[in-house]
Structure 1
Amino acid sequence: MSHKFGFSGIANFGAHVPNIRAINYRFGFIGVGNMGGALARAASRSTKQIIVCDHDAAKASALAQRIGCEFADSRTVVAESEYVFLGVKPQMMAEMLGEIKKELEKHKDVILVTMAAGLSIKTIRKMAGGDYKVIRIMPNLAVEVGKGEILYTTSENVSKNEIGKFLNLMKHAGHLTGMEEEEMDAGCSVSGCGPAFVYKFVRGMAQGGVDAGLDEETALALAIQTVRGAAKMLESNDAPLDKMIENVCSPGGSTIEGVKKLDEAKMEEAVRDAVAAAYQRNIELGKTE
C-alpha cells in the first residue's frame, strides 16, 4: 500500500506557496509516528512554532491539539518551516522525499532533519535531489520524558548558528551528543536500540520477584527504581564497572550467587550480540546507494 504524506483528509495548502519563503514555524514534522511524535512533544516544551503532518491526518490533528501546534500537509511543512523532520521509516524515505521534491526545489534553504536508521546524509541528499542542509539524528524514545539520548551529525553547509539554534530548541528532549557520521550506526545500536534491551532486563528482574512471591506491581516498581538508582550511581561514580559490581557483591552473600547465574547464562555476551545485531541491521538499512 502506498502512503501519501500529508494529503489525507486535508486541503493542499501548499498549492499557492510563493517562491519567497515565509518561515512561520521553527520545526515541521513529516510523519508523527512513535519517534516523530515523541520528538514533536519534546520540542513543544521549547517552542509552539511547530507544524505537523502525517499520512494519517487524524493522528496529526490529535497531536497538534495535544501539544498546541498546527497541522497541515507536507508541502506547507516544507514551505513554512525552518527545520523539517523526516519522520518516516528508511524504506519509505525515497517515496516521501519524491513527493515533496518540487517544494524542496523552491525552498533550498530548508534544513532537513533525518532520523532514519542507516541512511547517510549523502543518501538523503540523493533522494531529495539536491545538496540540502541536513542534520542527521539518532534519538531514542526517552525523549518523550526529557531523558533521551540524541546522537547528531550535520552536513558541511549547516552553520554553527543553525546547529546551536537546533540544539537549544531540542534541549528539553534530553542529552545531545555530536559525533562523526561514520560512528552513527554504532552509536544508535547502543542508545537508540538500548531502551528495548533495558526493558527486557527489567521484565526479567520483575518476573524473578514475582516467582519469589511478590505481586506484579511491587516487583515491577522495585525493578524500575533499582535500574534508576544504579544508573544514577554510574553517573556520579568514576570507579570501573568491575569495581561497582564488586561493591554490591559481599563474599558468600546473595548478590554474588545471582551474578554467578548471569555469568553462567553469558548475559553480557548476549547483550553484546544484541548490539552487534542491531548494528548490522543499521548497515543493511543503509545499503541504498
Structure 2
Amino acid sequence: MTENSNASQSLPPLCLIGGGQMGRAIVGGLIQAGTIRPDDLVVVDPSAQCRQWWSDQHPSAKCHASVQTVETMPPIVLLAVKPPIMQRVAQSAPKQWAGRLLVSVAAGITLNSMQAWFGHDRVIRVMPNTPCLVGEGASAFCAAAGATDEDQGHVKTMLEAVGIAIAVDEKQMNAVTGLSGSGPAYVFTIIEGLADGGVLAGLPRDLAMQLAVQTVLGAATMVKETGQHPGQLKDAVASPAGTTITGLNTLERRAVRAAMADAVAAAKQRGDELG
C-alpha cells in the first residue's frame, strides 16, 4: 500500500450511497487502512445482492435499500452512483442532505449541478480510480465554495488512505477522468496484450501473464522511484539494432502512443458531455 501521512487518521461516520465497485474500492480501502470503522458506516443501495455483500463483509455496517429509511444521516455522504441517476438521488430525500458534506465520485457531474440538485454548496467532487481497492489509487478533487478547509481535509484523508490525492481546478477534472480515472482499463488492456504476445511467441498462458504483470509493475516503479523521464528509461534499454528497438518500431508504426493519448482525450470529451 502507498505510504502517506494521513492513512492513520480517522474520519467521522460516513454514509455510502451506491455500494458497487467504486464504493467498495474506496470504503473497503478506508476500512482496511483503519480510517473508518464498519460500525460507523451506513450503506444505501437498492440491490439486495449488494447489501448482502456488505453485510457479509462488514456485519456491523448498517445497510439500507433507500435513503428514506436512514434515521440519522452521518455527517459525510459519499455519493458513488452513476452520473445519470445523481439528480434522482438528490430528489429522493432532500431533508437528509441538509448540513452534510457531500462527496461525489460521479464522472462529469459539475459542482454547479450538485449544488443545484442538492440545495447547498458544501460539496466536493472527486475522481478516484479502482486501484484504491489495493491502496494504490490516483485521485483528484475540487471543492465548492461552501466546503470548508476541514471538509477538504476529510476528503484528502479519505483519498490518501487508499493512494494519492491531488487538489485541482474543476476545469481539469474531466482530463483527470480521462487519464487516471479511466487509465487502469487502458493499462489492463496493455497487460492483456503483452500476455497475448507472450503466448503467440510460445509461452504458456500463466507464465506470460505473470511476466506481463511484473513487467508493467516494475516499469512503473522505475519511473516513480528514479524520477527519470520515461523516454530516458526507454532509450536506456533500446540498444542499436536490438530486440527492444525493433519492438518499439512496431509500436510506433501502429501508433500505440498516439492511440493512448487519443483514448485519454476521448474519455475527457465524454466527461464533458456527461456534465
TM-score for the superposition, normalised by structure 2: 0.89
Aligned CA-pair RMSD: 1.7
Aligned pair partner of 2:240 in 235, 251, 254? 251
5+ long unaligned stretches in structure 1: 1-23
Structure 1 residues 245, 30: CA separation in 2 closer, same or farther (over 3 Å shift)? Answer: same
1:161 to partner: Cα distance:
1.8
1:76 to partner: Cα distance:
5.1
Structure 1 residues 250-269: aligned runs within 5 Å: 250-269=239-258
Provide the residue aligned with 2:48 in structure 1: 57
CA distance, structure 1, for counterparts of residue 195 and residue 16 of structure 2: 37
Q: Deviations over 1:154-209 (max 9, x none)?
A: 11122112222332244321111111111100111100000011111111110000
Provide the residue aligned with 1:12 in structure 2: none
Aligned pair partner of 2:154 in 159, 165, 171? 165
The one-letter code sitting in structure 2 at the alignment partner of 1:153 is C
Aligned pair partner of 1:75 in 59, 68, 74? 68
Structure 1 residues 1-289: aligned runs within 5 Å: 26-45=13-32, 46-48=35-37, 49-68=40-59, 69-72=61-64, 73-75=66-68, 77=70, 79-104=72-97, 108-128=98-118, 130-286=119-275
CA distance, structure 2, for counterparts of residue 278 and residue 217 of structure 1: 32
- For the Cα contact (< 8 Å) 2:195–2:209, is it kept in 1? yes
- For the Cα contact (< 8 Å) 2:12–2:36, is it kept in 1? no
The one-letter code sitting in structure 1 at the alignment partner of 2:62 is E
CA distance, structure 2, for counterparts of residue 192 and residue 78 of structure 1: 33
Q: Secondary structure at the match of 1:80?
A: coil
- For the Cα contact (< 8 Å) 2:29–2:133, is it kept in 1? yes
Q: Secondary structure at the match of 1:44?
A: helix
- For the Cα contact (< 8 Å) 2:107–2:271, is it kept in 1? yes
Q: Secondary structure at the match of 1:144?
A: helix
Q: Secondary structure at the match of 1:112?
A: strand
Please say which of residues 178-187 and 237-246 is displaced more in the overlay: 237-246
1:36 to partner: Cα distance:
1.6
Q: Deviations over 1:99-119 (max 9, x none)?
A: 121322xxx210111011111
- For the Cα contact (< 8 Å) 1:29–1:85, is it kept in 2? yes
Q: Percent identity?
A: 32
The one-letter code sitting in structure 2 at the alignment partner of 1:117 is A
5+ long unaligned stretches in structure 2: 1-10
1:78 to partner: Cα distance:
8.1
Where has structure 1 moved over 6 Å in runs of 4 or more?
none
The one-letter code sitting in structure 2 at the alignment partner of 1:70 is K
Structure 1 residues 76, 42: CA separation in 2 closer, same or farther (over 3 Å shift)? Answer: farther
CA distance, structure 1, for counterparts of residue 87 and residue 154 of structure 2: 28
Q: Deviations over 1:64-118 (max 9, x none)?
A: 43034221241355842111011111111111111121322xxx21011101111
CA distance, structure 2, for counterparts of residue 75 and residue 172 of structure 1: 30
**Higher relative contact order, structure no. (Cα contacts within 8 Å, ≥ 6 residues apart):** 2
The one-letter code sitting in structure 2 at the alignment partner of 1:34 is Q
CA distance, structure 1, for counterparts of residue 245 and residue 58 of structure 2: 48
